Amino acid sequence: MKLLVATQNKHKKQEIEAVLKKTFEVVSLADLSDDEVIDETGDTFFENALLKAKHYAKKHNMLTLADDSGLSIDYLNGAPGIYSARYSGGSDLDNLNLVLKEMAHATNRDAHFTCVLVLYDPRTNVYQTYQGKIYGWITHTAQGNHGFGYDPIFYVPELKQTLAELSPTHKNQISHRAIALQALKEAFR
């Protein structure tokens, strides 16, 4: 069964495909040469994921999975949150550096990643939602060469490593997105 993943982000597609490849044939917006970017006008991860899933499912008439995810930091009152991908207005590295700058004098460095997935079927207009979270804290400097986004500054205490220090295979077993994807996969068993 084909599944459209509503993203242009090749890293997200790879993470999703790694978990779901035995359940679905995964295609992305990039695979369909769809470079339309819709405004994420929701106030929550769920609202943004639903907005994207519904839009692209109807546009391409395909079962569609959309995710909205982000980093929430206690010291920053939950920021960057739903604005994680566009927090600085620049690149992933700009976002990461802005967080490090804002956290320079923080004593409470607790944070968590949230991923909300929405699976939308355009034939029935029915959707299902799945969520994953992972808890850790923000490091003082970037560490590791894997992953993307804020992975180099998100330390997982149980593993004694940042997400960027984990192999892609290991990350795809424990990340917030992996937890949500496993829940989706279980629902399709």
pLDDT bin (cut points 50, 70, 90) of residue 188 is confident
Domains of the chain, each with CATH number or no CATH: 2-187 (3.90.950.10)
Residues annotated in the binding site, as ranges? 7-12, 39, 68-69, 148-151, 171, 176-177
Q: Pick from 126, 128, 122, 120: which is nearest to 187 by CA?
A: 128
Q: Which of 68, 92, 94, 110 is catalytic?
A: 68
Residues annotated in the binding site for substrate, as ranges? 7-12, 69, 148-151, 171, 176-177
The reply to whether 68 belongs to the active site is yes
User: How far separated are the first and last CA of the chain, in Å rounded?
Assistant: 13
**What is the tens place of the pLDDT at every residue in 129-186?**
999 999 999 999 999 999 889 999 999 999 999 999 999 889 888 999 999 999 999 9
The predicted pLDDT at position 147 comes to 81
**What is the tens place of the pLDDT at every residue in 59-90?**
999 999 999 999 999 999 999 999 999 999 99
pTM: 0.92
H or E segment at 178? helix 176-187
